[in-house]
Amino acid sequence: MQVKINDNIILVGTAHISKDSVKEVKEVIEKYKPDIVAVELCKRRYDAITKKDKWENTPVTQLLKSNNSYLMLAQTFLSSIQRKLGKEYGVEPGSEMIAAMNEAEKYGLEVALIDRDISITLKRAWRKMGIREKFRLSWEFLKAIVGFGEEELEELDLEKLMDQDVISTLMEEFGKIAPSATNVLIHERDKYISQKILNESKKGKKVVAVVGAGHIKGIKKHLEKKKLDVDLKELEYVPKKRFSILKAIGYTIPVLFAALIIYAFYFKGLDLALEMFIYWFLINGICSAIGTAIARGHILSILTAFVAAPITSLNPAIAAGWVAGYVEAKLRTPVIKDFKNLSKIDSLKEFWNNRVIRLLMVVALANVGSMIGTIVAFPYIANLLTG
């Protein structure tokens, strides 16, 4: 799909997995002979395409941080789906972007990265979401990861993936789960990309911009405005973390737990206080251990999660997954081969057998188990006081 905005700006809307898109990108660049080839990539996505072995330099300690574990799992999971689809259609995911950059190199043209950093986009979206949306998103993601297999691939809307780039499809699906983040995920990016294209063309140079077909309508609308003046710095700003309800709950739980135990001890006796503590320990520990077991963690990692969860649930500064993940990393330390294979995973067996993935899953599911354990245990021990 080609759209000529003016003499200096030509848009090429591509399908993510399509040989035709690769061919069209080459033809448009050859036909219009631009000064700049702009591609819908940020630096992170550019590196992911051009530096296949970037994982090699990832410190194992970085995998233990809960936020990082979810982000890395998501990236690897989506990449593996892309590779499956790429094999089916005989084209490597991202080939149209690679083709654009190769053509630019062939003709000695400048390459411009015009998309906003994906981590900024996701962080801005996360700040916009409410608690229910965050829980729903986390649940849908973990459900997809645990159930990852051929049946999930068959359920994907392949025609939709053929109509636009996969990151736009991801953003749209993300927007359905978390409607309050739709503006950040889709409309802000259209504005951002439009302004970046316009900035390149203001240099008096002809620009061919290769973007996902799903963005064409929005970008065209912005570029055809008489005046486009988007503040890129504002769109790149990530609001500081607020003292959210979730964080407030995290700090409230240990206070309430201590209050319940002390109340039980003074007014009901030592036996009830001990019983409440034991149930708290068992429910929290078992739930976190089950999560670690589902992740196929080492038996010692499972035991660690069991012991750590009841304690870390009372300490907002540390998570059970970090502790269990540390033990898993010590017992089954990922090697360079595991990191390299992250860019080759395209089956359920490969996904689950990779040590990096297993470590990420241990961290993520031990934390989820601990959270579920807290939700179940707290009302249970409170109910013991009235029993």
| ∠ Cα 178 65 256 (to 5°) | 75
| ∠ Cα 180 182 187 (to 5°) | 135
Give 143 or 234, the one with higher predicted confidence: 234
Taking only the tens place, the pLDDT of each residue in 23-77 is 899 999 999 999 999 999 888 878 777 765 555 555 666 666 655 555 666 666 6
Taking only the tens place, the pLDDT of each residue in 69-127 is 556 666 666 666 566 655 655 556 678 888 999 999 999 999 999 999 888 887 888 77
Full-model pTM:
0.69
Quickly state the pLDDT bin for 149 (edges 50, 70, 90). very low
Predicted pLDDT at 328: 92
Predicted pLDDT at 242: 59
Closest by CA position to 24, among listed 80, 99, 79, 128: 99
Question: What residues form DSSP beta bridges with 39?
Answer: 113, 210
Predicted pLDDT at 356: 81
Domain spans of the chain, in order of start: 2-73+92-236, 245-384
Give 18 or 187, the one with higher predicted confidence: 187
Q: Answer for the pair 358, 321: CB distance below 8 angstroms, yes or no.
A: no
Q: Is a pLDDT exceeding 50 seen at residue 162? A: no
Give the CA dihedral 94, 106, 214, 229, nearest 10 degrees: 130
